Chain A
């Protein structure tokens, strides 16, 4: 599946080193209620960065 400088690597092979998200992680990415919570968390983190950088 992947091709890095001529080398072929398959993500699901132990040697690939690619972290594959679990189905749960993928589902949570569009879970409305969890994302409302993440929205608040991300905004706080971004405001801190903005505040530190200005």
Chain B
């Protein structure tokens, strides 16, 4: 689909354990844990073996298959940026068996990782363009990787970030947001579904922030990630604002068991999200049977 696919292939081969059993995870130690909110924790992970950690390559938008003892595996986006080597970050929301077990782990514990998998964001096409990020809840995790990548690589356009949370207490990645707010060419707008005492910011769904955006749809790119319903409304609104389908980019969540394009679970019409995605432009989704685009999901 895009030329990123090939690069991913090489990186994956490089990272694969001896090019051998692609199902075998690599142990990684939890170096630090930060509590983003009551539901989300960011795990800072380092591979056992300095060489492997040093040689580890990935790109924003890719994900890892994470193993937790007795719980199997789950796909989790990498929320750190490759411009800050030495560790990978996974920001995990409690959702069920594995993610709850992971929240019970402590610094020094070990998880298993394999990957990176999936097609990353098309970073090379962002050069010289303004970037609009629209995220809901845990959806900021993969976008955090792109945002920090853009800042570290001195992105030559403006950056606007819109972030919706359920309540002020649910706002995740507060430390990052504080840094972004303090960065000159970045503007960051937050909204919550339900306010609590002391909240003076916006209230309402994240689409309500879109009219405040001061970017030209003809010269900027919009990156969207969040729950399916949010993706649908935001994409529709961006289209109305004049963003072309090629300039609206999202990342899809599907049930995944292998990450290798073999198990079939992540199918989305004729595509396998784990290898053809998870990053797609709206142009690539159009005409396909995709629940996020359907009027009645």
Do the two chains bind? no
